[in-house]
Amino acid sequence: MALNAVMLERGTRHPVPLPEENFLYHCSGVKLELKSGAGYPGDAVALSSPSGTVFISNKRIIFLPSTTTHENSTASVGLNSFTIPHVNLSDLKFVQPLFGANRFEAAARPVSGGGIAAPAVLTLTFKEGGGFDFVTIARKMSERIQETGEIPPHEEELPVYDGPSAESPAYPGADGPPSYPADAPPGYEQHNTRD
């Protein structure tokens, strides 16, 4: 996880994608809370933002607060952006309370040079909906990483098959439909339809 490390597209509040990164979903009206230190004074980091936009890609989760002032945070640094790779998340939970907004919770491991030194608990509260779709994608990414041990290169639908083109034959290695074998099995007779 890293603080204030997300590059934004010029003139927008959208993150610049990393190489081979595809953004799969984004949702506004999300509250971020990040707590670490297990309650020990001096070792704890507590970050929060009351509202912002969360993005999920095939590589990472990004949170961009609606306002980027030092007042968003109880830590000594301001929160301009937050990012965490999927491989650094574990124990993903989707909490649906009887009263209140749905939330996503996960254990987060820090990255080297990311501005947060200790493991933390990440909580994203979806005040305006969208939590179920977000968690579905996050779980799918987590499962794929656990199965393969690596980040999937992309997560998108396969292209639609258009059929053979004029340059390539419909049947590989032939210029027309397949022919019947010269020595057919017993009881197999080829009928001529031109009679």
Neighbours of 176 (CB within 10 A): 8
Q: Which CATH architecture has domain 2-9+24-148?
A: Roll (2.30)
Give the model's pLDDT for residue 73. Answer: 44
Identify the residue whose tokens are 């971020």.
32
- 195 vs 191, residue with greater confidence: 191
Read off the pLDDT of residues 139-190 as tens digits, 9 standing for 90 and up. Answer: 999 888 888 766 555 544 445 556 555 555 555 555 555 555 566 566 555 5
- Per-residue tokens: 61: 């989760």
> What strands lie across the sheet with 46-57, from one edge to the other?
2-3, 82-85, 60-65, 46-57, 23-36, 120-126, 102-108, 89-95
**Residues 47-57, buried b or exposed e (16+ Cβ, 10 A)?**
bbbebbbbbbb
- Per-residue tokens: 92: 């993903």
pTM metric for this prediction = 0.71
Statement: residue 128 has pLDDT above 90: yes
Q: Do 27 and 54 contact (CB within 8 A), yes or no?
A: yes
* Closest CA relative to residue 135, chosen from 27, 1, 21: 27
Read off the pLDDT of residues 56-101 as tens digits, 9 standing for 90 and up. Answer: 999 999 999 998 755 444 445 678 899 999 988 999 999 999 999 9
Give the model's pLDDT for residue 178. Answer: 54
User: Amino acid identity of 131?
Assistant: G
Give the model's pLDDT for residue 46. Answer: 76
Identify the residue whose tokens are 């509040």.
13
Domain positions in the chain are 2-9+24-148
Give the model's pLDDT for residue 175. Answer: 55
Give the model's pLDDT for residue 45. Answer: 64
